């Protein structure tokens, strides 16, 4: 652990604790090579394994990735099935490796729409993660996730608690609401990285990114490397974060 901290501290003060990534560009990566889009997703899943291990190694505390949005169901059945197969493999690997690798895994999004098998595997990784120490690395995967959908689900939960007499509307504040979101208990992302050249948020962590620093790169996700993480962290460390205040230095 001390070796991990040293690596990130060597890069300068205030390293990001929480990195969020929109894993974009898999389809284009494959199409440019004359390959089916699914090959891009397969290589993208490998990139995730590498980048997750690297973030852990350098002392980042949490990594949240956008893997499948509430809108991604519009893709062809073959592409959707292929991506679901990649989640299955990732989950089976996680069941074997979370404890050994000191990783806690959470899924954000409405899991009720995925297959019973994936739900059951995610339930197993939840059970394993819940009994692992809080200070382990937090890997979070957004699956059937949309920021607006997450907010609506949280609002419904609060409304039904009010209707049941467990809460009062005037009790609601930002802290309470944040604890009703899928990301409850997790600090907001310090930096959001979007590979693939698009300059938008695409309904990702829209509540949590209120003060997040953005880093965009044209690199397509399957080509994304550890050096890109270093560059993003270096750029982040040069930013002045004021959270709406002023710098009194």
Contact code string over 22-51 relative to ligand FPP, x by CB under 6 A:
-xxxxxx------------x--xx--x---
Rounded to the nearest whole angstrom, what is the least distance from the CB of residue 106 to ligand FPP in the complex? 12
In the bound complex, what is the minimum distance in angstroms from residue 181's beta carbon to ligand FPP?
20
User: Is 101 among the catalytic positions?
Assistant: no
CB neighbours of residue 244 within 10 Å: 6
Distance in angstroms (rounded) separating the CA atoms of residues 111 and 143: 7
Closer to ligand FPP by Cβ: residue 58 or 142: 142
Distance (Å, whole) CA 21 – CA 60: 13
- The alpha carbon of residue 96 and the mean position of all alpha carbons in its chain are separated, in whole angstroms, by 21
Asked if 21 interacts with ligand FPP (CB under 6 A), we say no
| Site mask for ligand FPP (CB under 6 A), range 154-193, x = bound | ----------------------------------------
| Upper half-sphere CA count for residue 170 (Cβ side, 13 Å) | 0
> Applying CB under 6 A, what is the total number of residues that bind ligand FPP?
19
Q: Which of 6, 9, 72, 173 does the annotation list as catalytic?
A: 72
For the question of residue 24 being annotated catalytic, the response is: yes
Which residue of the chain is nearest ligand FPP when measured via CB? 27
Comparison of 8 and 141: residue with beta carbon closer to ligand FPP = 141
* Active-site amino acid positions: 24, 72
Footprint on this chain of ligand FPP (rule: CB under 6 A): 23-28, 41, 44-45, 48, 67-68, 72, 83, 86-87, 90, 141, 196
């Amino acid at each position: 652990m001390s070796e991990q901290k040293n690596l990130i501290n060597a890069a300068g003060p205030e390293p990001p604790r929480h990195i969020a990534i929109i894993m974009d560009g898999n389809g284009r990566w494959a199409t440019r090579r004359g390959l089916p889009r699914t090959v891009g997703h397969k290589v993208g899943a490998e990139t995730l394994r590498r980048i997750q291990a690297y973030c852990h190694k350098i002392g980042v505390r949490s990594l949240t990735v956008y893997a499948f949005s509430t809108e991604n169901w519009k893709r062809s059945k073959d592409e959707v099935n292929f991506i679901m197969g990649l989640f299955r493999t990732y989950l089976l690997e996680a069941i074997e490796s979370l404890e050994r690798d000191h990783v806690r895994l959470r899924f954000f999004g409405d899991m009720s729409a995925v297959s019973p098998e994936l739900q059951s595997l995610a339930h197993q990784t939840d059970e394993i993660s819940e009994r692992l120490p809080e200070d382990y690395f937090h890997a979070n995967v957004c699956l059937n996730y949309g920021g607006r959908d997450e907010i609506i689900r949280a609002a419904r939960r609060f409304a039904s608690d009010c209707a049941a007499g467990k809460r009062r509307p005037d009790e609601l504040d930002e802290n309470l609401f944040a604890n009703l979101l899928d990301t409850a208990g997790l600090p907001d992302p310090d930096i959001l990285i979007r590979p693939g050249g698009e300059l938008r948020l695409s309904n990702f962590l829209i509540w949590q990114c209120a003060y997040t620093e953005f880093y965009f790169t044209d690199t397509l996700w399957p080509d994304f490397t550890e050096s890109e993480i270093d560059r993003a962290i270096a750029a982040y460390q040069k930013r002045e974060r004021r959270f709406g205040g002023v710098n009194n230095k």
